[in-house]
Structure 1
Amino acid sequence: MAVKGSTKGMPILGYIACCLERDLNSSNVRPAVARYLTAGGRHVMTAPGYGNEQAIGQGIRDSGIPREEIWVTTALDPHGVPADNIREWAAAQIDSSLQRLNVDYADDIYLHWGVAVTRQNRPELANVTEEMNLELYRGLLDAQTAGKIRHIGVGLHTQRELEYLINSTGVMPEIMYAWITPFMPEKQIAYAMWARSQGMALFGWGPFNWQRLDEPAELEAHRSITNELADKYNTTPLRIILRWYLDLGIAMATSMLKPSWLEEDLNCLRTPLTAEDRARLESVKWGCHKTDQIQPLPGCMDA
């Protein structure tokens, strides 16, 4: 997948060591990463808050795959950010991540948690202001200049917040991480497409988070469609959603702890959905207010 400024491109289907306890456990993560890489996968994603960066690095070494062939992603998390000397604090956080991963550079580090989303969904981060967030972004730019990061991403930022970062620094992030599924409100999809129109590559996450919604009728409609298509393509409902991402050119990652999951996830690259089947997946949409049960959507918050 093309990323601005990248010669090797970001692999479109990756492994993420998040977010259930089994997926965070380092004793599970290390062998899973090695299996994923030796099977042909090349994109490994984590974050400091997941507590398994060291296991990720160990899995990379265990695989024997050359570092330059692997796309390594982690995050700059605002938890604990001080009111002053923010860029220096960010530099220390980035150095710590690289040390735990045992790599000289990250292919991508993304700035996690925009201000509007955290104020609604992460009260422990209510002290983080837009100016502090801007300094964190500048800290990422410093690390990129120093050669410690190849590309910069953002996650859970509204369009207005992104425009503030871009206008204040003159630098657009190269990748946007967003919760995207076929069932998303149109405003969230439009927000993601706006980011793409600005030149950002899209990375989607949470393909099955919609199952946490307390909306029995809509859940049944979603399950009915994905199950029917899974039967048609002789696969699982999750891989139908994965294929939807890939057909639209949206990169994403899943947890591939079991060898059978790994093989099935990688095999979903082989069979595209028809246009009619993609339309069926997109035929049942949530309202913005319903997604707040799980997490506020930046696209809806700009409305």
Structure 2
Amino acid sequence: MTTVTLNNGFTIPQIGFGVFQVPDLSQCEEAVAAALAAGYRHIDTAAAYMNESAVGKAVRKSGIPREDIFVTSKLWVQDFGYENAKKAIQTSLNQLGLDYIDMYLLHQAVGDYLGAWRALEEAYREGKIKAIGVSNFYPERLVDFCETVAIMPAVNQIEIHPFFQRDEDLAVAKEYGLALEAWGPFAEGKFDIFNHPVLAAIGEKYGKTAAQVALRWNLDRGVIVLPKSVHKDRIQANIDVFDFTLSEEDHAEIARLDMGHSEIINHYDPAVIKMLHSVKIHD
């Protein structure tokens, strides 16, 4: 497993296990347990996923030393603002049943995220969180944020896959010393990614699947990837990507797949912003 060194010196495994859209707590716990058994040491959850408790239970029951597992969670929009965020951070700690969270992110770039960030900075200084970052910040929002805050975010977790490659985001992250994380590295199954002819043909050269090529492509670019599955065979396959790298020719072929926009969610759409504000995860 390769790691990425964050801007605060903390290291993070370059492949994490995502649990988005796994709200069934028993299924989530089983999936995380299977991932840890397969060798994953990075688990990515969020308050809005409604499964922090299952993640924490699997981590605690794994028998793996706590310091060897990197756990990420995220603060939802409903809990933005300084006071709300302080309470929500403690709620996440309680739900996870952990003494600290390795990384905590602002889930969206809407609402009073600056007030919320002050609470994250405070928790970071207190040692409750080992690294803090953001998610779904587009380049212009990220630049403004980095020019404003006292503590620089360690990561920006965004949609990145062969059909939305985010070169500008990579450049901005490099300028400010952030790592990028890819949620949805399989484009949530769109574009027939698991059978895509370009990715499948590249994979044949290495004895790998199209999905493994999609992950390796992001890893080669220095991006942290967060594949998700509840199937043990796919959980294992998604981590078996460290025995090959793609050639320059492979990268050139994949570069031509970039559409330059998302087919999953458009954070520039006013209707999407209204929707994010409307989603409530608790009373």
Shorter chain as denominator, the TM-score bin is 0.7 to 0.9
- 2:167 is aligned with 1:189: yes
Specify the alignment match of 1:4 in structure 2. 7
Specify the alignment match of 2:184 in structure 1. 206
Equivalent position amino acid for 1:275 in 2: E
d(CA) in 1 for partners of 2:140 and 2:251?
Answer: 30
Q: 4+ residue stretches of structure 1 with deviation over 6 A?
A: none
TM-score (norm. length: structure 1): 0.81
How many residue pairs get matched? 264
Determine helix, strand or coil for the equivalent of 1:267.
coil
Determine helix, strand or coil for the equivalent of 1:204.
strand
Structure 1 residues 262 and 190: alpha-carbon distance in aligned structure 2, compared to 1, 3 A threshold: same
How far 1:211 sits from its partner (Å)? 4.8
d(CA) in 2 for partners of 1:250 and 1:153?
Answer: 15
Q: Is this contact kept in 2: 1:137–1:165, CA < 8 A? A: no
Equivalent position amino acid for 1:201 in 2: A
1:92 to 82, 87, 90: 87
Q: Is this contact kept in 2: 1:247–1:273, CA < 8 A? A: yes
Residue-by-residue CA offset, 1:153-181 (whole Å, 9 max, x unaligned): 11112333223333332321011111112
- 2:130 is aligned with 1:150: yes
Structure 1 residues 104 and 80: alpha-carbon distance in aligned structure 2, compared to 1, 3 A threshold: closer
d(CA) in 2 for partners of 1:283 and 1:168?
Answer: 36
How far 1:243 sits from its partner (Å)? 0.7
How far 1:6 sits from its partner (Å)? 3.0
Specify the alignment match of 1:216 in structure 2. none
Structure 1 residues 210 and 47: alpha-carbon distance in aligned structure 2, compared to 1, 3 A threshold: closer
Specify the alignment match of 2:281 in structure 1. none
How far 1:80 sits from its partner (Å)? 5.1
Unaligned runs of 5+ in 1: 116-127, 214-218, 299-303
TM-score (norm. length: structure 2): 0.86
Equivalent position amino acid for 2:69 in 1: I
Specify the alignment match of 1:295 in structure 2. 265
Q: Is this contact kept in 2: 1:35–1:63, CA < 8 A? A: no
Quick one: percent identity of the two aligned structures? 30
d(CA) in 2 for partners of 1:46 and 1:178?
Answer: 14
* Range moving further from structure 2, 250-259 or 39-48: 250-259
Structure 1 residues 182 and 36: alpha-carbon distance in aligned structure 2, compared to 1, 3 A threshold: same
How far 1:135 sits from its partner (Å)? 0.4
Specify the alignment match of 1:232 in structure 2. 205
Instruction: Tell me how large the CA RMSD over aligned residues is.
Output: 2.0
Residue-by-residue CA offset, 1:184-203 (whole Å, 9 max, x unaligned): 26xx3212221122110111
User: 1 or 2, which has the higher helix percentage?
Assistant: 1
Specify the alignment match of 1:67 in structure 2. 66
Equivalent position amino acid for 1:264 in 2: A
1:73-152 residue pairs with structure 2 within 5 A?
Answer: 73-79=72-78, 81=80, 86-115=81-110, 128=111, 132-152=112-132
Equivalent position amino acid for 1:174 in 2: A
- 2:253 is aligned with 1:280: yes
Specify the alignment match of 1:125 in structure 2. none
Residue-by-residue CA offset, 1:74-105 (whole Å, 9 max, x unaligned): 00111254xxxx31210110100111111111
